[in-house]
Amino acid sequence: MRPSPTFREATRDDLPQIVALLADDGLGATSETPGEALPEYYVRAFEAIADDPRNAVIVAEVDGEIVGTLQLTYIPSLTCLGGERAQIEGVRVATDQRGHGIGQAMITWAVEQARARGCRMVQLTTDRRRPEAIRFYQKLGFRPSHTGMKYHLNET
């Protein structure tokens, strides 16, 4: 039987492994720049997240090895009776660890964190080109209730 993952806030030292996880799929491979010597923009982004009490990068570990990551952001809102919502972003599980319940454990953990904080809603997005991810999130109770749109400012 595989051990269950444990969760903790990421540290700066975890950043190369986190970026490698983000790049470890077809879409991430085209948009991320993994390596031990990371570009400074990753460090700046990580420090901004770490300094923000409404944000956290989380890593999942099994036997001391990072096997997954996600970002959890708490967003104050006037909608939903002024309730706070939790946004889950950047969910990744190491390729060789997929299919062992780690992703489900990560999302369940994040939802429980939001519930304990009193959030009224948990939301996430996933790229339409990831049909397996869409099915996975639906299996966990997420519903495609809205149409999400993105406007990328750095595209020409």
Query: pLDDT tens digit string along 46-67?
Result: 999 999 999 999 999 999 999 9
Residue 131 neighbours by CB distance under 10 Å: 10
Mean pLDDT score of the chain: 92
| pLDDT for the residue 155 | 65
Angle CA 98–29–57, to nearest 5 = 65
| pLDDT for the residue 81 | 84
> In this structure, are residues 59 and 69 in contact, taking their beta carbons and an 8 Å threshold?
yes
| pLDDT for the residue 1 | 64
Of the listed ranges 31-35, 54-58, 82-86, 107-111, the one predicted with least confidence: 31-35
Which contacts (CB < 8 Å, 24+ apart) does range 125-132 have?
Answer: 125/89, 127/27, 129/26, 129/27, 130/25, 130/27
More confident residue, 154 or 8: 8
| pLDDT for the residue 152 | 84
**What domains lie within the chain, and their CATH numbers?**
6-139 (3.40.630.30)
Residues 6+ apart with CB under 8 A from 140: 104, 107, 108
**How do beta strands 55-62 and 85-93 pair?**
unpaired
Question: Between the CA atoms of 54, 145, 99 and 128, what dihedral angle is there, to the nearest 10 degrees?
Answer: -100
| pLDDT for the residue 154 | 79
pLDDT in tens, 35-46: 888 999 999 999
More confident residue, 27 or 79: 79
Burial (CB < 10 A; 0-12, 13-18, 19+), residue 114, is buried
Q: Is the pLDDT of residue 2 over 80?
A: no
More confident residue, 155 or 43: 43
Residue 114 parent element (H or E) = helix 102-117
Amino acid at site 123: Q
